[in-house]
Amino acid sequence: MATIKELKKETTKRERDDGVVARLIEGLVSLVPEAANAVLRAFGTPALGEIAGPITKWILDKMKDKLEGE
């Protein structure tokens, strides 16, 4: 839950750090692999998709590729 709270806090900041968002997403999915689909769906929405920076997009693409390969 702490990772989710940190992710929520970081994504709601006006000056969010894309590297922190990406690290938190990776950490969340490493702790709960089943969360990958939920994270991808969430960042597929216009609201979160717009805040994803290049590092976060790279992490999300990597997760998507991994899920498609399974």
Q: What is the pLDDT along the chain (70 residues), one digit of tens a residue?
A: 899 999 999 999 999 999 999 999 999 999 999 999 999 999 999 988 999 999 999 999 999 999 998 7
In whole angstroms, give the CA distance from residue 16 to residue 52.
10
Q: If we measure between CA atoms, which residue out of 20, 2, 11, 32 comes closest to residue 59? A: 20
pLDDT at 52: 93
pLDDT at 47: 87
Provide the domain count of the chain: 1
pLDDT at 15: 94
pLDDT at 11: 93
Range of the domain at 61: 2-8+17-69
pLDDT at 36: 95
Q: Is the dihedral of CA 26, 33, 62, 48 positive or negative?
A: negative
